[in-house]
Amino acid sequence: MKLASWNVNGLRAIFGKNLVAYLEEFGPDILALQEIKVQEDQLPPEFHENPVLKGYHKYYFPAEKKGYSGTAFFTRKEPLAVHKGMGNPEFDREGRVLTLEFADFYIASIYFPNSQHELLRLDYKLAFNEALLKYARKLDKAKPVILTGDFNVAHEEIDLKNPKENMMNPGFYIDERKWFSKLVHPDTGFCDIFREQHPGEADRYTWWSYRLRARERNIGWRIDYFVVSNRLKARLGEATLEDEVLGSDHCPIGLVLKD
């Protein structure tokens, strides 16, 4: 089973670019989406009529605020259940966590808050992080968990092009990184599967600024992840960054889940 995740920076925008071509070429069985920025009834008729998209069950968790945030799933296999949010209105109104339950695992599409310029939303993000960890641990007691999406943090210096210049900046601030270290600590029970498979591989990123030809020059950050329950690792194939795929300021990431 091919899993994929992509911060599309607007589902309507990516549909008008290369979403369908991506699905045809890479053929994910489950695609998690973040920052969809749309309510389902705002999608154009041609979206619903597209023959490729008709091959997927679709689930949406938009933010209450239109044109903002939101998560979604496209999946070939119908899940046992769909869970919107974490049961916390403060975070759920922004549509940041959508979870599908299958027979032997959960998978959550997550769009973590950005701590913003001058760290104005750092406290909100750290509170979200702790709520997410509690939620993931609760799910993990029932069956293995796959957390995927835009975590809005580069964990280590290897995960962004210019770490020294970004030490005090949102997305690389020490408190954000410490929380991610806790998330993927062996005692917590989860791992960053791409970094585990590629421990020393530098210059591999998932997000690039639209400014100063950053993507062309590969001045980027790795902030999109598959974080998985450790006991699921025996079933995992290769974790990939599909950085050749254009259309958003993020690229898709992939993971193979064996039967």
150, 159, 224, 243: the catalytic one is: 150
111, 135, 173, 205: the catalytic one is: 111
Three-state DSSP at 246 gives coil
Q: What's the Cα-to-Cα distance from 34 to each of 62, 200, 248, rounded to whole Å?
A: 10, 27, 11
Which of 224, 253, 203, 95 shows the shortest CA–CA distance to 153? Answer: 224
**Which letter does DSSP use for residue 8 in this model?**
-
State the DSSP string of 19-55: HHHHHHHH--SEEEEE-----GGGS-HHHHH-TTGGG
Phi-psi region of 79 (alpha: psi -120 to 50; beta: other; left: phi over 0): beta
- Cβ count near 112 (within 10 Å): 22
Q: How many residues does the chain have?
A: 259
CB-CB contact of 189 with 140 (8 Å): yes
Is residue 111 part of the annotated active site? The answer reads yes
CB-CB contact of 33 with 59 (8 Å): no
Active site residues: 111, 150
